[in-house]
């Protein structure tokens, strides 16, 4: 254990300035580069690099999580960016298809009303998204009478989740 304490930590600054030094594969093996602005910190963005194998590992990871909330045949609304190959929404949709569920990539730009109506019209059983987005849809559904068709299962990600938000979603 004493030896472990002597190992240096990788900081956000290390990733910002020397990100390529952390690659364990040739640059030609990188299939996706993601630039992350901030996750609660300030400063220049960081870049992360993914191989095809990395992305398949992420799909497998997502698949294990999806198995906890969805079953084959369920309809899953994914409220994360998904139009780009290898994006979080795209990888979740791949995992959903592997599970045998039907993924729907939500269009948050269409607005809360459109997403609430999609949930009802397409009989969405599961929603995956950022707490603020899902909470806004839940509040709209409750205020307009669309709550009867609100999903039975919600998976929140990418942000802190206030207890009050969880309680509001449970009431819907």
Return the closest-CA partner of residue 155 out of 70, 86, 97.
70
Residues 37-66 pLDDT 10s: 765 556 778 888 999 999 999 999 999 999
Is residue 108 within 8 Å of 142, Cβ to Cβ?
Answer: no
pTM above 0.95, yes or no: no
More confident residue, 114 or 13: 114
Return the closest-CA partner of residue 133 out of 148, 152, 115.
115
Instruction: Classify domain 52-171 by CATH number.
Output: 3.40.50.980
Phi and psi at 91, nearest 5°, equal -70, -40
Q: For the chain, give percent helix, strand, coil, nearest 5.
A: 50, 15, 35
Q: Which two tokens stand for residue 85?
A: 């190959």
Q: Which two tokens stand for residue 154?
A: 């919600």
Task: Calculate the alpha carbon distances from 171 to 7, 69, 135, 139, 168 in Å.
Answer: 48, 19, 11, 10, 5
Residues 119-147 pLDDT 10s: 888 889 899 998 888 889 888 888 888 76
Least confident stretch, 20-24, 62-66, 94-98, 158-162 = 158-162
Domain residue spans of the chain: 2-51, 52-171
């Amino acid at each position: 254990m004493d030896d472990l304490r002597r190992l240096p930590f990788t900081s956000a600054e290390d990733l910002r300035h020397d990100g390529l030094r952390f690659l364990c594969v040739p640059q030609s093996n990188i299939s996706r580069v993601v630039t992350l602005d901030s996750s609660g910190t300030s400063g220049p963005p960081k870049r992360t690099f993914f191989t095809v194998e990395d992305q398949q590992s992420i799909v497998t990871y997502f698949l294990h999580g999806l198995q906890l909330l969805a079953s084959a045949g369920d309809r899953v609304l994914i409220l994360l960016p998904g139009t780009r190959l290898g994006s979080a929404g795209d990888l979740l949709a791949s995992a959903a298809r592997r599970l045998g569920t039907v993924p729907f990539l939500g269009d948050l730009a269409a607005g809360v009303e459109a997403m609430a109506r999609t949930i009802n019209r397409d009989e969405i059983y599961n929603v995956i998204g950022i707490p603020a987005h899902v909470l806004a849809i839940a509040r709209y559904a409750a205020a307009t009478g669309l709550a009867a068709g609100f999903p039975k299962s919600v998976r929140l990600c990418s942000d802190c989740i206030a207890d009050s938000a969880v309680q509001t979603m449970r009431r819907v």
